[in-house]
């Protein structure tokens, strides 16, 4: 049993699942956007929709997409922080089907980019990200994670794995989803350490690569 299991996460807010976890889901979208966020559309499913306001879920999601961590003292003032940054957002209740009741669907926009993230807060501040840019993934942001969207081609995963190994980093887990054979694919690689800027730049400049992001470790465990 870990210390997190016994006392819960370091956080500000009344609920680890509705506040700390929600904030981390927002942080995933923030880091994957790759530029300053300008506006967001956030769908709240089931328990998030029904009890979110009382548990600080709305504040936490806004704080996360702005880049604030769950223990940031500015989290209770996330609405004021958003106004000061000129950040616009809207919430709506949605039915996302047979998913965890604490699930949010985030569309985050910058000046040039848009990212979509769907994930669940599964308890104790732990999250599970299940959709990025419309394609299925499965990671918890408890270790550095590289996400690559690319055109499906023979040997692509092997080439990516070789680049990671050449950078001296070990792969802990990965998930890959493609739309169709030869279509768009998304690879999420959980790592023992962050890739170097040089390795990321190398991956980003492959002809078949459309989008590369490095998500930092967002929680212990």
Same domain? 94 vs 161: no
Domain limits for position 13: 3-132
Is the alpha carbon torsion for 47, 52, 54, 57 positive or negative?
positive
pTM of the prediction?
Answer: 0.91
CB-count burial class (<10 Å; 0-12, 13-18, 19+) for 7: exposed
Same domain? 37 vs 82: yes
Diameter of the chain measured on Cα atoms: 50
Within a domain: residue 221?
no
Cα–Cα distance for residue pair 92/165, rounded to 1 Å: 43
Can you give the pLDDT at residue 15?
A: 54
DSSP element (H, E) containing 216: none
pLDDT of residue 35 exceeding 90, the answer is: yes
Count of the separate structural domains present in the chain: 2
Cα–Cα distance for residue pair 9/12, rounded to 1 Å: 9
The CATH number of the domain where 183 resides is what? 3.30.70.260
Can you give the pLDDT at residue 46?
A: 97
pLDDT of residue 1 exceeding 90, the answer is: no
Same domain? 115 vs 165: no
Can you give the pLDDT at residue 14?
A: 45
Tokens representing 146 are: 């590289």
Can you give the pLDDT at residue 17?
A: 65
Cα–Cα distance for residue pair 151/184, rounded to 1 Å: 5
Within a domain: residue 138?
no
Tell me the β-bridge partners of 85: none
Last residue of a domain, one of 132, 161, 178: 132
The CATH number of the domain where 112 resides is what? 3.30.1330.90
pLDDT of residue 9 exceeding 80, the answer is: no
Q: pLDDT digit string (tens) for 116-171? A: 999 999 999 999 999 999 999 999 999 999 999 999 999 999 999 999 999 999 99
Region 178-202 average pLDDT? 97
């Amino acid at each position: 049993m870990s210390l997190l299991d016994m006392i819960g996460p370091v956080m500000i807010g009344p609920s680890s699942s509705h506040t700390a976890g929600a904030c981390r889901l927002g942080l995933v979208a923030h880091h994957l956007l790759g530029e300053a966020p300008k506006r967001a559309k956030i769908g709240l499913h089931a328990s998030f929709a029904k009890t979110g306001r009382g548990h600080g879920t709305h504040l936490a999601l806004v704080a996360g997409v702005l880049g604030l961590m769950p223990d940031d003292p500015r989290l209770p003032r996330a609405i004021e922080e958003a106004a000061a940054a000129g950040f616009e957002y809207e919430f709506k209740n949605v039915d996302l089907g047979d998913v965890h009741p604490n699930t949010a669907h985030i569309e985050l926009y910058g000046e040039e980019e848009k990212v979509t993230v769907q994930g669940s807060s599964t308890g104790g501040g732990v999250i599970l990200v299940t959709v990025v840019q419309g394609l299925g993934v499965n990671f918890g942001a408890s270790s550095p994670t590289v996400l690559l969207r690319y055109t499906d081609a023979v040997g692509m995963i092997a080439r990516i794995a070789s680049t990671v190994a050449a950078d001296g980093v070990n792969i802990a887990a990965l998930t890959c989803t493609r739309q169709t054979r030869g279509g768009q694919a998304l690879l999420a690689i959980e790592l023992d350490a962050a890739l170097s800027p040089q390795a990321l730049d190398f991956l980003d400049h492959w002809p078949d690569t459309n989008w590369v992001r490095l998500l930092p470790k967002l929680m212990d465990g």
